[in-house]
Each structure stands twice: as structure tokens, then as C-alpha cells.
Amino acid sequence: MINVFWAFVKKEWYHIIRDKRTLLILFGMPVAQVLLFGYAISTEFKGAEIDVLDYAQDESSVQLIHHLQSSGHFTLHNILTSEQEMEKGFKEGTTKLVAVIPRDFDKELFNGQPITLQLITDGSDPNNANTLVQYATTMLNDFQREQLSMRSTPFQIRVESRMLYNPQLVSAYTFIPGTIALILLIVCAMLTSLTIAKEKELGTMEILLVSPLPPLVIILGKVTPYAVLAFIDAVLILLLGYFVFKVPVLGSVALLLFCCLLYVLVGLSLGTLISTRSSSQQQAMMSSLMGLMMPSLILSGFIFPLSSMPGILQLIGQIIPATYFIEILKGIMLRGVGLQFVYLEILVLLGMVMVLLAFAWKNFNVRLQ
């Protein structure tokens, strides 16, 4: 039986190396996605152009304007003189943020009175606006502290923040785990469901079923090469992350690979389930794209935080395997945690494998009747 199995795997291998599209998905996509997420999609920014409406025009306000530019995150585009000029910058797209410094800025700063400093941003790009306001607020607080400490006020709170596990807030730290989750799903679920659906579409599946091959060997023979390739992909992405974006693996590599294996199993059972349900490649493709890729991209916490979503979406997020896998990856890679901190997620994935396999097996047998 083992020879029969190898004959099958060998045939599957020929299919893969002869099909440029599959090869592209297997090796082009992970590389492209990592580089794209790494260089193009980044929440960090540099040199955002700002305008300042300076009513005070005194020593302190000039210092503040210098301070804002000191970090390199902001560049001063214009100093405005009246409110009427504010909108022009937004409309022309030359400015992303306007800081309005009040007339009595200097006096209020040194008298310890509450200061109202207005920040106006372009809300048509909310994510960006939020980030800009956060940066600006931090810088304003810094400025206040500097000024006040020069005059040694006795009571003050110094806030020192440190971002643990990702001190520089590098976005690569979040997209490497996310990309692994997504690529493994594409390779395991989408490619396997496509290849099984292809056999059905071409009629070769019928021939395989008439042969003495047990159905289990057919399925195993079809998915094994993809499981191996998925593994290679996972390692490829980890290496890319490590060497190009300096994303570390602080925890146990063995545990990490074990979790990848578990997730590969989830993907394969999903792929088999989809393929038992679809009779054409197109159908399999649509099911995997709409049913797996989109939710995994949007609702897994990969790009958007799950906690800020409406309840129903959070609920859907909870049944997506990628959600748990990304948690596990972040834990092991970035926080360096061991099994005792990720065992719950591992159990959830194990449960998913069981349920999905049971469904796939049932469906497969029903189809044979």
C-alpha cells in the first residue's frame, strides 16, 4: 500500500511542478505578500506635513513649533495667520494636521492654568488622523514636561511608557504571523480543494474511485504534497521575517513548528470539506475565497483589532482558526511564551480539526453512495 501511496504523491508532484500558476501561488505569493506588507502597508509615518495657526506668536509658541518638528515625524508646511486659511491646506492635500496655538499660550503655560490647544485633522482618512493626533499629543505632553521641569514645579507626574515585545512598534511584528496564517490557509485549504475539484471536473476522480485505492489513500495522497509545501512556505516566511525585517522567534522553534503542523491540519481538513461540497474548480475557488480568505484577513485580528468590532463580528472572529493561530504565533515568536500560555488556543485548533474531519469524512462517504 505504501508503494501505491508514493505513486500517487509522485503524480501529484508532477501536477504541481508543471503548473506555473500553482508554483506562483506557492512561492511567489508569500514573498510578495511579506514584502508588500513590510514596505507598503505600514502604520508608521515620517514627515507628515502640518500647518500651525499661531495666535500667540511668542517665544514659547515658536519653541513648541520647533519641538513638533524635532522628531522628524512632522514637517511644517505653513504658518497660518487666520482661521479662514485652515481649510485650504486640507483641500489641496498639502496638510494633514493643523495645530491651533491659543493667544495666551505662554502665560497659561507658566501659570499652571489649563491650556486649550486645538488639533484639527482630516477625518476623511480616519486611521491616519488618529495616528497623527496620538503622535502630536505625545509630543505636546513632552513639551509641557520639559518646560515645566525647567522651572522645577514640585508636583508632576512623569509618564514613561515602554512598548514591551515590540519596542519600536514595527509593523512587521504583526504581519509576519498574520501572513503565515493566511498563506498556510491558502496553500492547505484553497490549493487542496482546487486540486480535488479539478479531478472531479476532469472525470479522473471517477477513475480513481473505480481503482482499488481506498478513498482515504486518495485524499491522503492528494493532500500530503501540499502539507509539505505549506510547511516549506511557513519556514520561508519566518526566514524572510527574520532576515529582512528582524522579526525574532523568542520562544521554542519546535513548539512553533508543531503549531504550524496543527494549523496545516486544520487547513487540509477545511480544503477537503470544501472539495467534497464543490464539483468544479470555480466553485471551490469561490468557497475558499469568500468563506476562508476574507474572514481570515479581516476578522482574525490580523489587520483590524477584534476587540473594536461589533459583537456579531467578534463572534465570527472566534470561530476562525486563523484568530487562534495568530495568537499562538505572536505568543511564541514575540513574547517567547511556552506551552502553558498557548495550550488553550492549541486545544481549540485540535477541536476544530476533529469536527472538520468528521464532517469531511461524512460528506465524502455520502457522495460515494
Partner 1 sequence: MNTSTVIQVENLTKRFGNFTAVDTISFEVKKGEIFGFLGANGAGKTTAIKMLIGLSKPTDGMGKVAGFDIAKEPEQIKKNIGYMSQKFSLYNDLTVKQNIRFFGGIYGLSKEKIRQKTHTILTELDLESVAKKPVAELPLGWKQRLAFAISMVHEPEIVFLDEPTGGVDPNVRRQFWETIYYVAGQGRTVFVTTHYMDEAEYCDRVSIMVDGKIEALDTPNTLKKQFNATSMDEVFLKLAR
Q: Which is nearer to partner 1, 167 or 212 (CB)?
A: 212
Q: Which is nearer to partner 1, 145 or 198 (CB)?
A: 198
Q: Which is nearer to partner 1, 146 or 206 (CB)?
A: 206
Which residues are near partner 1 by CB under 8 A? 3-4, 6-8, 10-11, 14-15, 18-19, 202-204, 206-213, 368-369
Identity of residue 200: K
User: Where do runs of H (alpha helix) occur along 45-171?
Assistant: 59-70, 86-92, 105-111, 126-150
Min dist. Cβ of residue 277 to partner 1 (A): 19
Q: Which is nearer to partner 1, 221 or 317 (CB)?
A: 221
CA distance 347 to 263: 11
Q: Which is nearer to partner 1, 139 or 218 (CB)?
A: 218
Q: Going by C-beta distance under 8 Å and a sequence separation of 6 or more, which residues neighbour residue 57?
A: none
Min dist. Cβ of residue 215 to partner 1 (A): 11
The three-class DSSP label of residue 51 is strand
Min dist. Cβ of residue 267 to partner 1 (A): 24
CA distance 94 to 273: 52
- Of 158, 226, 163, nearest to 192 by C-alpha is 226
Q: Which is nearer to partner 1, 175 or 226 (CB)?
A: 226
Min dist. Cβ of residue 319 to partner 1 (A): 34
Q: Nine-digit cell at 264?
A: 496545516
Min dist. Cβ of residue 265 to partner 1 (A): 25
Min dist. Cβ of residue 233 to partner 1 (A): 22
Query: Following DSSP, what letter does each residue of 65-93 receive, concatenated?
Result: HHHHHHTSSEEEEEEESSGGGHHHHHHHT
